[in-house]
Amino acid sequence: MYNFLSLLIGALVAIMVAFNGELSDGLGNYSSLVIIHLVGFVIILGIMFYKKIKISFKNSLPLYLYSAGAISVFTVMFNNLSYAVLGVSIPVALGLLGQLIASLAFDHYGFLGMPKVHFNKKKFIGLFIIIIGISIMTFL
């Protein structure tokens, strides 16, 4: 089931990039960023209200973990800027490559307390094939 959800996330990201890019083209990058995040905020508040979930902050969590919202803003902004020039597939492909490289580093070095999962030959072969595919999409 989680594999299917992960596949669904990939499809939703492509749809999101297209919708966000068109909204940005129509309203401008900053206005669209505000609208995109306000709509998301209202939806999650509605879900939390419906499920009677309260927001809780924990003093024991490191402050930098709360920066994920800022990362989200920059992710959407950079996608919107890229979309106007590159379309949907190239920003999504390059974004996935960036996610893959960052996640391999997190796994290998155990950043932020993650368990270490060492880089092996199979992962290198997969990464190499992905880089070749994205290079063909981007440069040929």
Could you read off the pLDDT of 121-132 as tens digits, one per residue? 999 999 999 999
Model pLDDT, residue 127: 94
Model pLDDT, residue 102: 94
Nearest to 76 by CA among 33, 129, 106, 108: 33
Nearest to 38 by CA among 2, 76, 79, 1: 76
pTM above 0.85, yes or no: no
The full DSSP string for 82-132 is HHHHHTTHHHHHHHHHHHHHHHHHHHHHTGGGPPP----HHHHHHHHHHHH
Q: Is the pLDDT of residue 8 over 90?
A: yes
Q: Is the pLDDT of residue 50 over 90?
A: yes
| pLDDT, tens digit, 9 for 90 and up, residues 73-91 | 999 999 999 999 999 999 9
